[in-house]
Amino acid sequence: MPSGESLLSRSLAAVWHPCTQMKHHERLPLVPIARGEGPWLFDPEGRRYLDAVSSWWVNLFGHCNPRINAALRDQLEKLEHVMLAGFTHEPAVQLSERLAALTGHALGHAFYASDGASATEIALKMSHHYWRNQGQPGKTGFLCLEGSYHGETLGALSVTDVAIFRDAYASLSRDVRTVPSPDARLAGPGETAIDVARRAAAGLERTLAENPGQIAALIVEPLIQCATGFAMHDPEYLRLARALCDRYGVHLICDEIAVGFGRTGTFFAHEQAGIRPDFLCLSKGITGGYLPLSVVLTTDTVYGAFYDDATTRGFLHSHSYTGNPLACRAALATLDIFAQDDVIVANRAKAQHFTEQLAPLANHPQVTNFRQRGMIWAFDVTDAPADFPHRFFAAGLEREILLRPIGNTIYFMPPYVLSEADSGFLAAQTLAALNATLEAAPAA
């Protein structure tokens, strides 16, 4: 096995790493990983890191999970891939049926792709094409929330409102309207999270009323806008948004790419508002973090609007690996674990325990807005030094934890297999890393 050092220099020479200013690696660690086990990652020399961000929010049941491994081995001996246009296979069919059942059969048609951003593109295109097929081609506009993040391909970036990802490509983006954020941290004195949600919904209604017949869809990240820094909102916003979309004839797209599969404490986040979207985008945790797979689930009504003799009224979108059997099989094994281990219920006790262990952090004098929903925790650090995310990341690695703050927000999105011992270790090491970071450098 190559040493960590040689892997690093070869990687820096040959691999252009994602979401990275490569020059920063002159002073920042690039971490070589040789193997994974449960929530732990190991480098070639055997140093370990607790993966408290589930490798970009994808891993649910640990690295090298024996049950998912076994399912994939079995699938490898049967069928690795076949195109999904004109052909079908058991894993894609079964996965579609089981996902439909998880939506109470409200969203019974599954369209597959590989990454989250592709699912966003599909939902936007499908919504637009639906209205066109319905004789309303003027409905070409989309609404997104302040601070939204839906991926980084051009269409997805158009409905993304995070400056660092969007600004360099602004001239390539479509004209999309941004509506007020329901982020509970915006509550004024005496206001509750529900008040903020209602205020944001009133802003949404104004935009809908000002643009009659022009808006195809509103896209939201239900309950938690993760990439903007874990902005959490009350389910009331989703209830009101659903009602407004119905009133103004606009689709509601729920992007649960980050928050689906139990992350917010229910299987799907939108369940907490008692609503169903017209389109549900899923990815990340769908394969337990094993293989790229995304899907857009939609209704009979949407599906029916494309069902026709005319080819051009069909949804002629495709990706080569659409519905890949291995990825679908990993997703089926992931759903099996949810059912066999009663994961949603088991996670409640885990979440409560970890929240208790985080009390010293929640009460830290430089911590504000400590927040939690399901298996996601976040807090903001006040008076943080310049370059806080990089400094904290490095301080965490020195203490065997993998955490990547977004700005001054530290968050945890651990795999669901975290033991009590691991979560105690994570809480203690995070506190130590925070104190070390704050002591080492003055406030910015």
Q: Does 121 bind ligand PLP (CB under 6 A)?
A: no
Query: Which CB, 258 or 337, lies closer to ligand PLP?
Result: 258
Task: Considering only the stretches 92-100, 172-180, 252-260, 411-419, report the one whose residues sit in contact with ligand PLP under the rule CB under 6 A.
Answer: 252-260
> How many residues form the binding site for ligand PLP (CB under 6 A)?
14
Query: Which CB, 38 or 285, lies closer to ligand PLP?
Result: 285
Q: Which of 71, 102, 117, 252 binds ligand PLP (CB under 6 A)?
A: 117
Q: Which of 71, 223, 227, 333 binds ligand PLP (CB under 6 A)?
A: 227
Query: Which CB, 1 or 19, lies closer to ligand PLP?
Result: 19
Asked if 305 contacts 299 with a C-beta cutoff of 8 angstroms, the reply is: no
Q: Please, what is the minimum distance in Å from the beta carbon of residue 297 to ligand PLP? A: 15
Query: Hey, which residues does 385 pair with through a beta bridge?
Result: 443
Q: Please, what is the minimum distance in Å from the beta carbon of residue 149 to ligand PLP? A: 5
Query: Hey, which residues does 165 pair with through a beta bridge?
Result: none
Q: Please, what is the minimum distance in Å from the beta carbon of residue 302 to ligand PLP? A: 20
Q: Please, what is the minimum distance in Å from the beta carbon of residue 261 to ligand PLP? A: 13
Among positive and negative, which fits the CA dihedral 209, 215, 217, 223?
negative
Q: Which residues contact 343 (CB under 8 A, 6 or more apart)?
A: 262, 337, 416
Cα 246 from Cα 303, distance rounded (Å):
18
Cα 103 from Cα 110, distance rounded (Å):
12
Query: Which CB, 151 or 414, lies closer to ligand PLP?
Result: 151
Cα 372 from Cα 358, distance rounded (Å):
11
Q: Does 255 bind ligand PLP (CB under 6 A)?
A: yes
- Which 270-309 positions form the footprint of ligand PLP (CB under 6 A)? 283
Query: Which CB, 193 or 413, lies closer to ligand PLP?
Result: 413
Query: Which CB, 117 or 375, lies closer to ligand PLP?
Result: 117
Query: Which CB, 255 or 380, lies closer to ligand PLP?
Result: 255
Q: Please, what is the minimum distance in Å from the beta carbon of residue 253 to ligand PLP? A: 11
Query: Which CB, 111 or 149, lies closer to ligand PLP?
Result: 149
Q: Does 409 bind ligand PLP (CB under 6 A)?
A: no
Task: Considering only the stretches 71-79, 112-120, 138-146, 162-170, report the one whose residues sit in contact with ligand PLP under the rule CB under 6 A.
Answer: 112-120
Structure tokens given for 44 = 């070639």
Query: Which CB, 99 or 434, lies closer to ligand PLP?
Result: 99
Query: Which CB, 150 or 242, lies closer to ligand PLP?
Result: 150
* Contact characters 130-149, ligand PLP, x per CB under 6 A: -------------------x
Q: Does 115 bind ligand PLP (CB under 6 A)?
A: yes
Q: Which of 91, 116, 323, 374 binds ligand PLP (CB under 6 A)?
A: 116
Q: Which of 184, 257, 282, 296 binds ligand PLP (CB under 6 A)?
A: 257
Name the pairing type of β-strands 177-179 and 224-225: unpaired
Q: Please, what is the minimum distance in Å from the beta carbon of residue 173 to ligand PLP? A: 16
Q: Which of 60, 179, 217, 226 binds ligand PLP (CB under 6 A)?
A: 226
Q: Please, what is the minimum distance in Å from the beta carbon of residue 257 to ligand PLP? A: 4
- Three-class DSSP labels, the chain: CCCHHHHHHHHHHHCCCCCCCHHHHHCCCCCCCCEEEECEEECCCCCEEEECCHHHHCCCCCECCHHHHHHHHHHHCCCCCCCCCCCCCHHHHHHHHHHHHHCCCCCCEEEEECCHHHHHHHHHHHHHHHHHHCCCCCCCEEEEECCCCCCCCHHHHHCCCCHHHHHHHHHHCCCCEEECCCCHHHCCCCCCHHHHHHHHHHHHHHHHHHCCCCEEEEEECCCEECCCCCEECCCHHHHHHHHHHHHHCCEEEEECCCCCCCCCCCCCHHHHHCCCCCEEEECHHHHCCCCCCEEEEECHHHHHHHCCCCHHHCCCCCCCCCCCHHHHHHHHHHHHHHHHCCHHHHHHHHHHHHHHHCHHHHCCCCEEEEEEECCEEEEEECCCECCHHHHHHHHHHHCCEECCCECCEEEECCCCCCCHHHHHHHHHHHHHHHHHHHHHCCEC
Query: Which CB, 39 or 151, lies closer to ligand PLP?
Result: 151
Q: Please, what is the minimum distance in Å from the beta carbon of residue 402 to ligand PLP? A: 16
Q: Which of 59, 65, 75, 120 binds ligand PLP (CB under 6 A)?
A: 120
Q: Which of 32, 151, 374, 396 binds ligand PLP (CB under 6 A)?
A: 151
Q: Does 258 bind ligand PLP (CB under 6 A)?
A: yes
Residue numbers at the binding site for ligand PLP (CB under 6 A): 115-117, 120, 149-151, 221, 226-227, 255, 257-258, 283
